[in-house]
Chain A
Amino acid sequence: MVKLLELLGRNADFTPAELSAMLGKSEDEVKKEIEAYKEQGIIKGKKTIIDWGKVPDAEVRAIIELKVTPKPETGFDETADIVMSYDNVESVYLAASSRYDLIALVKGNTIQEIAEFVSKRLSTLENVIGTATSFVLNTYKQDNEIFGNESDEEEQRSMIL
């Protein structure tokens, strides 16, 4: 049931008891389903959402678009394989837009480090015919969480009954 996944996606800390209450199922059912999802590789693990922008001396992040010549048999997979093998690459997506084919989210200690990574490692790959790098200046929202200064919106609301 997708609803279960959706709830876990919102908060990995929901207990089977809470999930069973919300979904109107038994706790055992919920536990079994979670196990099944893990076995099928649908549930991959859990992490903490961090607003890196607020951490002093935190790492730099960039979105790198890659224009790739597809191979007859493997398409973009081969290049994607290489790109994702680097530890500083956090995510890789196939986009297949008219401008770029792969999108990689990359982190580094400094802008220079990322620039060097792109020019030495990525743009030199055999099938990569172009790259465009955008540095992340500020994160407004990530993984459904809204970042930035906690707004005063709440206080503007009236305490009504």
Chain B
Amino acid sequence: MIKVKNLYKTFKTKDLETHVLKGIDLEVKEGEFLGIMGKSGAGKSTLMYQISLLDHPTKGEIVLNGINTEEMNHEERTKMRLSTLGYVFQDYALIPELSALENVMIPLLMQGHSSDEAISISRKILESIGLAERINNKPSQLSGGEQQRVSIARAMAHNPKILFADEPTANLDSVSGNSVIELFQEIHKKGQTIVMVTHEAEYAKYCDRIVYLEDGKIVRESKP
């Protein structure tokens, strides 16, 4: 599903070069739940942005779903993000003026679903994660845990091939954090490929496999 070969990312400013990723090799199989762990500043987010097509690596190769991503143009990358990738951000990243339902609808509309279809798909998925009562609430009228679940619903609504999550529980208390992780586990059981960055060891046990990042390199791998 994901093949990363010899990946480098260097940030250049006027008089400073920061080498953040220094030769990453990584493979994620279809249906796998991969955890990326490491200290703050190790390069976990940077790695995820490269794999999930939000950024361009300095060097190296990323193959997603059989497609070499460096050969894609801007528009094709946008299209792929819409059709085959799903994103869950640490700070939920919901659009404030849209209701929970509308936030989930937006990618579906963009994919060309009719408004009625988008509403029914979004409603169904929000109901399935226990937010039936909240679908018309704006993000500001939801708790952090609820917002993160809406954001997972948005990422899942169009059945992405790969779901990316960057520290999805970092802003949540342990109860909400648990419910979010359990939601991940549930969708993983249905066959969803997931790549999740976390630095909370207690959640590692839900993953199939964990890679440890240190100073821009994968230093270790483990299975719980």
Q: Do A and B come from one complex?
A: no
Q: B residues touching A (Cβ–Cβ < 8 Å)? A: none
Q: A residues touching B (Cβ–Cβ < 8 Å)? A: none
